């Protein structure tokens, strides 16, 4: 048996998310179908992280085991030759024995994009926010979540997790022209966590929520206390580090 790792880019607009589901097309399902066809055996494809419907990825990682002797280059070419145009496999490589795309990951990095002006082109890849935003206030909040923190207030209720603690390594807002970018890197992420954080930070940026209220939102461990989830199309899974 061989362990193989994929790095994948996809436009999540037309998918129900990464994970295979009964209610529509998923990225995992599309890639698995092609792998089954190319390798002529059933494949169990495991992703490093789950992305929701409409969320995109530039650096999703996934792994699988196979008995097939096909070369990596042949597998790579076959995948990109058959997969739909909104999924692209960036690399196919041998992985260490027993590789697990999710459990072996050291950290993950996401970016969220907010446009300050409306745009017809690119509207599926950012969130247009019409309010004036105080970037300095949003960065105060971004810095408050660095280190080990309980993110239960920013996790979807139905998420099945043993605990809500994550270690955030980097958290920062930047602005370039009319585009704001939020970058966050952590050892793990809860279901809906980044979008809930962004929504809450936007509430702070527009003055709807005061900076001093944020610590109480975290301490409450109650999703109802945080802001709305930011729309999915602005979120990109950028990188998985092993």
The residues carrying an active-site annotation are: 52
Residue 227, both tokens: 């802001």
Q: Helices 72-82 and 27-39 sit at what angle, rounded to 10 degrees? A: 130
Partners of residue 93 on adjacent β-strands = 5
User: Is the dihedral angle over the CA atoms 65, 11, 13, 81 positive or is it negative?
Assistant: negative
β-pairing, 107-115 with 235-241? antiparallel
- Using alpha carbons only, give the angle 34, 35, 37 rounded to the nearest 5 degrees: 65
Neighbours of 175 (CB within 10 A): 12
């Amino acid at each position: 048996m061989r362990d193989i790792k994929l790095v994948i880019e996809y436009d999540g607009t037309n998918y129900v998310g990464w994970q295979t589901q009964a209610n529509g097309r998923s990225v995992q399902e599309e890639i698995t179908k092609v792998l089954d066809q190319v390798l002529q055996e059933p494949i169990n494809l495991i992703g490093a992280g789950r992305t929701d419907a409409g969320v995109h990825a530039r650096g999703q990682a996934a792994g699988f085991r196979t008995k097939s002797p096909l070369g990596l280059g042949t597998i790579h070419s076959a995948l990109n030759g058959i997969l739909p145009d909104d999924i692209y496999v960036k690399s196919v490589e041998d992985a260490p024995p027993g590789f697990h795309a999710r459990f072996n990951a050291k950290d993950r990095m996401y970016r969220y994009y907010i446009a300050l002006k409306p745009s017809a082109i690119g509207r599926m890849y950012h969130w247009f926010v019409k309010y004036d935003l105080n970037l300095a206030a949003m960065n105060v909040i971004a810095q408050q979540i660095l280190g080990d923190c309980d993110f239960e207030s920013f996790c979807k209720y139905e998420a099945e997790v043993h605990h809500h603690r994550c270690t955030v390594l980097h958290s920062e807002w930047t602005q370039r022209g009319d585009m704001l970018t939020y970058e966050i890197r952590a050892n793990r992420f809860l279901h809906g966590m980044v979008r809930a954080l962004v929504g809450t930070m936007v509430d702070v940026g527009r003055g709807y929520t005061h900076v001093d209220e944020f610590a109480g939102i975290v301490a409450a461990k109650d999703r109802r206390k945080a802001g709305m989830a930011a729309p999915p199309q602005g979120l990109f899974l950028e990188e998985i580090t092993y």
